[in-house]
Structure 1
């Protein structure tokens, strides 16, 4: 994620908290994240991890893609590969490319994701209950656990599911796993 995008994201996270009239302590309690981490995040002193953004998306009741879309300019109809926003969580080895930019008037979007070998990302709950996903693996292996049911996916496999509870993405292999995720809002 570029520096400008990170700065806009930090501002948007601060705005969301203020729109609700919450203090940093209120948000820390709701998100189960330390007040100091949230303060540093809103000031743009640190980059968020996927897990941290996931927790904030739950509290703010929006998918991560919607949150990231709120800090992007109005999306064009055609998005060239070179201009698609890319966000990296270097701590977990997760890279996310917004293939089709989300828009408030649309219900679906496509992202491309890559998880480095050994990556393990868990989300405690979905940002929006009932969120529909279609996950299609291109390269590598992925173990995806949704609501307590684990599925091992390899190239060409596609798993359709709705998010009602926790989920976990694990790359158990020795090579990166690359997949597309179609997200459909309920």
Structure 2
């Protein structure tokens, strides 16, 4: 089984499980996530590999981290994630990427990411649920964070935190690659 097949199967199994645990019908989850009922059915039947944006919307609507939806490892008191088991969520032809390193559901989803943005690349994200927080530490280059239309320059060594319930963008306006570590905390679904 390929990595993509394993990921698709894990997402199908975990989406069904968390939707059931939350007591959401297909229609209720579709409305909460802004994703079509048909797309959710296709995902739960492992007939499609949804975009990162769709996966994030479903995770946010369920109040879980995307690591929880994509996880295929057995549960243990200590969870070690080798570098080759981390999930590359997106990449660009220029070499930019985001890798989800590890996450947990303790007191709501908490995720740890590493990011690499090449010169001129950017990523814009829809708002997370109210109460979501992102923490960012730039380790190389300079990253520009845009929240509610206001840009913030973050050179290497600078950290930032913000409430992520507004659309936000990460971009590299410099000439060198920008690298950062990011943590995302999402409140549990109510």
Q: Same fold (TM over 0.5)?
A: yes
Secondary structure in 1 matching 2:166? coil
1:102 is displaced (CA, Å) by: 2.9
Residues 16, 97 of structure 1: alpha-carbon distance in 2 compared, 3 angstrom cutoff: closer
Unaligned runs of 5+ in 2: none
**For the residues of structure 2 that align with 1:152 and 1:22, how far apart are their CA atoms?**
43
Contact residue 134 and residue 161 of structure 2 kept, 8 A: yes
Corresponding position of 2:25 = 22
1:8 is displaced (CA, Å) by: 0.6
**For the residues of structure 1 that align with 2:143 and 2:178, how far apart are their CA atoms?**
6
Secondary structure in 1 matching 2:103? coil
Corresponding position of 1:150 = 151
**For the residues of structure 1 that align with 2:10 and 2:64, how far apart are their CA atoms?**
17
Deviations 1:137-164 (A, max 9, x none): 1234332223443312232221122333
**TM-score relative to the length of structure 2:** 0.71
**For the residues of structure 2 that align with 1:171 and 1:44, how far apart are their CA atoms?**
35
Corresponding position of 1:119 = 122
**For the residues of structure 2 that align with 1:57 and 1:177, how far apart are their CA atoms?**
27
Residues 104, 56 of structure 1: alpha-carbon distance in 2 compared, 3 angstrom cutoff: closer
Q: State the number of aligned residues.
A: 179
Considering only aligned residues, what root-mean-square deviation do their CA atoms show, in Å? 3.3
Deviations 1:100-122 (A, max 9, x none): x3334477553212345423232
Corresponding position of 2:65 = 63
Deviations 1:59-85 (A, max 9, x none): 11233345445x443354554434x42
Contact residue 49 and residue 91 of structure 1 kept, 8 A: no
Residue 53 of structure 2 corresponds to residue 51 of structure 1:
yes
Corresponding position of 2:172 = 171
Residues 162, 29 of structure 1: alpha-carbon distance in 2 compared, 3 angstrom cutoff: closer
Corresponding position of 1:6 = 8
